[in-house]
Amino acid sequence: MPTRTYRPIHVATLASGMDLVLPLHEIIGDQPGPTLGISAGIHGEEAVGVEIVYRFMQTHDPGALRGRLLVLPVANPFSYATISRHTLIDGGNLNRVFPGNRDGQLTEQLAFAMTEQFLRTIDYYVDLHAGGAYPTVDYVHILNAEPLSRAFGSPLLYRAKEMLAGTSVTVTRERSVPSVVVELGGGDVEQTSYVARGLQGLANILKTLGMLPGDPTPPPPQVVLHEITTLRPHHGGLLV
């Protein structure tokens, strides 16, 4: 029988007495299948992914699902509440401290809880990011699951020469869990089209995995990038 369950993950008790929890949602379909983990909000100023995940949970019928979804729409509640990339209480970047430390600083405790009760319980993984407050981004990383990365539907794919240490996908890749990292939206532009594309991309991945009925939307012509360069100008102005 299809079910939806909210399973908050306890991380710590704050000085105010409030419990800090990770808001984990479990959606079990009508038929057996794999477990797909979806996370967003690892960086709190990247709100587009949070909106995509929220709408995805609201618009898909568990009765049509094969398998199980574990969804973490806000992976860092502290940084999300303050619209910050970092956890302000200790200045940590959650996506640089995985797998975390139960007895470490708060950001490390967040990573540890997410690792033990989320990342180590899934068969596939999608992590949603965005450009934050300023840049607008639009590409998908190719990690250890190129067909899934391509299925998301972005015209640009990025195959890095080496991965950053301490990211959430370091945990899943060590377990040989097929993983996809999406960079979509952000910046001071209208986000509606990015949300729509994110919803379509997630549906494409689930259809590719056989977790939703139907065929995924064919991707557009795709270009694979091997390097991303940051340009530092010596003159102010607008680039048109």
pLDDT band at 72 (very low <50, low <70, confident <90, very high): very high
pLDDT band at 134 (very low <50, low <70, confident <90, very high): confident
Domain membership flag for residue 126: yes
Q: pLDDT tens across 186-231, in order?
A: 998 999 999 999 999 999 999 999 999 999 999 999 999 999 888 8
Domain membership flag for residue 67: yes
Q: Is residue 60 scored above 90 in pLDDT?
A: no
Starting at the earlier edge strand, list the strands of the sheet with 223-225.
3-13, 19-28, 66-72, 31-39, 124-129, 179-185, 137-141, 156-158, 223-225
Domain membership flag for residue 14: yes
Percent of the chain with pLDDT over 70: 100
Domain ranges, residue 71: 3-225
Q: Is residue 119 scored above 80 in pLDDT?
A: yes
Helix and strand counts by DSSP (H, E) for the chain: 6, 9
Give the contacts of 149 (CB within 8 A, at least 6 positions apart).
140, 141, 142, 143, 157, 180
Q: pLDDT tens across 14-35, in order?
A: 999 999 999 999 999 999 999 9
Domain membership flag for residue 238: no
- CA-wise closest residue to 177 among 42, 39, 43: 39
Domain membership flag for residue 234: no
Q: Is residue 55 scored above 80 in pLDDT?
A: yes
Give the whole-angstrom CA distance, residue 106 versus residue 89.
Answer: 8
Quick one: pLDDT at residue 147?
Answer: 98
Question: What is the count of structural domains for the chain?
Answer: 1
Domain membership flag for residue 13: yes
Q: Is residue 240 scored above 90 in pLDDT?
A: no
Give the whole-angstrom CA distance, residue 208 versus residue 216.
Answer: 6
Give the whole-angstrom CA distance, residue 35 versus residue 211.
Answer: 9
Instruction: Supply the CATH number for residue 127's domain.
Output: 3.40.630.10
Domain membership flag for residue 214: yes
In the three-class reduction of DSSP (H, G, I as helix; E, B as strand; rest coil), residue 11 is classed as: strand
Domain membership flag for residue 118: yes
Give the whole-angstrom CA distance, residue 25 versus residue 43.
Answer: 19
Tokens matching residue 128: 């949603």
